[in-house]
Structure formats: C-alpha cells, structure tokens
Chains A and B, each alone.
Chain A
Amino acid sequence: MQPAELEAFRKGERQGFEAVFREHAADVRRVVERFMKSAFEQDDALQDVWMSAWKQSATFVPERGPLVAWLKTLAANRCRDLLRARGREPVEYDEDADAEADEPGPEERAEQAQLKSALEQLAATLPADEAAALKAGILSGVSHPDVAAALGINVRQSKYLKQKLLARVLAHPTLGKAGT
C-alpha cells in the first residue's frame, strides 16, 4: 500500500479508505467469521466494522504498529460489542490461530467435492444457456461484465441469470443441502 493511500485513509478520504478496504478485506472478514457463524450476521458485522474503521481512521498511528493489526483489533472489539449487545457471550479469539484456521478441514473438503459433483450433474440437466452461465462461472465470483461478455448478454441479464441459477442450486436435492 502506498504511503499516500495510507495518509488518505487517515484523513478519512474515500479513495484511501477503498484502497485499505481492498488490501485488508480478507483479513477483517476472517476475524469476523471467527465470531459470527451466520452469514447474515457476518455481513452486518462487517459493515459495522468497516464504518467504524472509516470513522476512527484518524486514530490509527503507523508508528504504533501495522494497519492490519489495528484493523483486526478493531474488528474483534466490534464483534464482541455486537454479540454482548445481543446478550451473547463472545467466543475466545486467538489472533495467532487465524491463518491455520483458514484451511478447510476434511469435512469441508468432502462437502466441496460432493458439491462439485452435484453441480456437474445439475449442469447436465440444464438448458444450454443456463449450463453455459454455470460454466462461465456466474456463481463462482467471475465478474458480471466477464460473464456477460462470455455469454453475449448484458450485465443486467447476467445478474438476473445468477439469481435464477442460485435458486436452482438451492432447489437441488443435494446442492440445496450444502448450507444446512
């Protein structure tokens, strides 16, 4: 990260904030995932954490330590506050254990393999345009402009297609159970 971007972040400038966000979104997300099991709660907490980071950016002092540590501490504290506000006891959080806990366990790996196989089965039953969208990675984090270009459709249509595909996946007897 450029010193100018860091300084812009400290001044509360949007450009600096966005640079910090893109650099450290995954770090902050990992902390929040330790505290919140529900994806919806994670989303809410992440929004809260990042807005706090933006409001408190002037309190970050580079001489005291790296930005990532400041962000992680802020995230952990906000999560504790949010959980306590809901009457729940925060989990123990060990920052050092962060990295190794990110590796998927055997269960998760097995679930992913099962999911991949079920997805292939689903793709075989889909109309050509939907199967093409699935293969183009519309549920895999490929950007809408890329999917739209690959399929010869516009971005709005790719968003619509994505929503429809997700609904299909959720209705699939095997795939739909992945989140239960």
Chain B
Amino acid sequence: MSLFWYRKRVEALAAGTLEGAEERKVREHVRGCDACRAHYDRAVKVRLAVGGEGVRRERDEELLARLPFPGREPEPRRGFAPALIPAVAAVLVAMLVAVLWHPWTRGDDGLRGGDEGAAPLQARLYREQASGKAELLGELPGTSAVRVHRGERVQLSARGAGEVTATLGDLTLRIEASTKFQPAGEAWTVSEPGELVVTDAAGHRVSCRVELEP
C-alpha cells in the first residue's frame, strides 16, 4: 500500500469518518507506524484546535461507537482460510477499477455537487478471455465465492462512493468507482485463493471468496 493511501486513511481516521473493519485495520497500522502516528496526532490536534470542546465530545461519541462490546458485529475475517492456503504461495489477484461515480470526486479534489441517496457499494469480478472480452464471474454482494484457474487474469469494476479499495491477500488496490459496471483498469493474475474484500470511501464493504479450480 502506498504512503498516499495511508495518509488519506490516517486523515479519515483522525476525522472520525472510518468505520468497522477499515477503521480497525488503519488503526492497527498506525499503532505500529511512527510516521502515521505523528500525522494522526497532528490531524487530531488541528481538529481539536479548530473545533474545541465540540470536537472533544464528538470524539467521545466516536470512541463509544467503536468499543468492542460483546454482541457487536465481530471483526470480519481477513486473509486466507488456513485450509485453503496452498503451501506454495505467490501473490495473486485481480482487479479493478473504473472512474467516478461520485460527483464530489470530479475535478481536482472533489467536493462538488450534492448527490443525494448514494447507492450502496456493488462490485463485479470478471475473467479476462483470450478474445479480450470479459466474462462475468460474480457480483458482490450476492456471490459468495468465485472459482478461477491458477494463473488466470481477472478484473473488477465497482459502483460506490468515491474511492474504492480492494484487497486480496497481501494485495491492495485503490480504484475509483464508476457510474456503470465496466471492467477497467489493470488485470491481475490470480495465483492463490483468498478473500476478496472491496470497500468504498463511505465504509461500505462487500466480499467473496476467490477459490482456485483443482
């Protein structure tokens, strides 16, 4: 993952706009990264300096919301199911992208327009064929697992809020959501099974298993 990706996530964490698994994942990273921790501290200090006591109360509510009480949604499983991890590993996967769905992300840095009623995150995974055409493998949410051959090339497209992040094993890619499904961006070679997790800027998350054909 790039430094830019983390800086943006750290700022989102400090702004209190990350939720769920993504919030925990970024927080875990910051815990072990001096540079990100310093950036987080700076962002929080600025936020407090700007907002004062109101921001303190807001941060208290954010803390209450993330306290891991029993009965709260459990940490979503990430990474590979041990039984499915082949002894020989390599990196895999596949995917992504397309362009803007969210009007704010148009232009230099977004913040344009008002798109009421944003759609929830949806993603599609495609198999790249020799003809150059893409064959639909599955749609998220809905598909629990897709099966591909080792070495097969796949692509992803997504509809969601702004920036979309997809992870499969150790691989993480940033893409921007599109207004319509269209396989775009780089195709990736799948060499290992795992859980494909796709999240958007609003914290929505969809996932499915990527399994290898025997």
Which A positions have Cβ atoms within 8 angstroms of B? 14, 17-18, 21-22, 25-26, 29, 38-40, 43-44, 46-47, 50-51, 54, 111-112, 115, 119, 127, 129-130, 137, 139-143, 151-154, 156-157, 159-164, 166-167, 169-170, 175-176, 178-180
Q: Which 3 interchain pairs have the tightest Cβ spacing?
A: A141-B54, A179-B42, A179-B45
Q: Which residue of A lies closest to B68 (CB)?
A: A51
Asked if B37 CB lies within 8 Å of chain A CBs, one says yes
Which B positions have Cβ atoms within 8 angstroms of A? 8, 11-12, 14-15, 17, 30-31, 37, 40-60, 63-64, 66-69, 71, 102, 104, 109-118, 161-162, 201-202
Would A141 and B56 be within 8 Å (CB), given that A18-B64, A21-B64, A44-B31 are in contact? yes
Note all chain B residues with C-beta closer than 8 A to A153.
Answer: 114, 116
Residue of A25, A137, A159 touching B17 (CB-CB under 8 A): A159
> What is the bound-complex CA distance between A160 and B60, given in angstroms?
20
Would A157 and B68 be within 8 Å (CB), given that A141-B54, A162-B15, A179-B44 are in contact? no
**Residue pair B60, A169 in contact (C-beta under 8 Å):** no
> What is the bound-complex CA distance between A50 and B60, given in angstroms?
11
Note all chain B residues with C-beta closer than 8 A to A162.
Answer: 15, 17
**Shortest beta-carbon distance, A52 to chain B, in Å?**
11
> What is the bound-complex CA distance between A142 and B57, given in angstroms?
10
Note all chain B residues with C-beta closer than 8 A to A152.
Answer: 114
**Shortest beta-carbon distance, B129 to chain A, in Å?**
36
Note all chain A residues with C-beta closer than 8 A to B40.
Answer: 39-40
Note all chain B residues with C-beta closer than 8 A to A46.
Answer: 63
**Residue pair A140, B41 in contact (C-beta under 8 Å):** no
**Residue pair A157, B104 in contact (C-beta under 8 Å):** yes
Q: Which residue of A lies closest to B19 (CB)?
A: A159
Q: Please indicate which of the listed interface residues A14, A51, A163 has the most CB atoms of chain B within 10 Å of its own CB.
A: A163
**Residue pair A140, B162 in contact (C-beta under 8 Å):** no
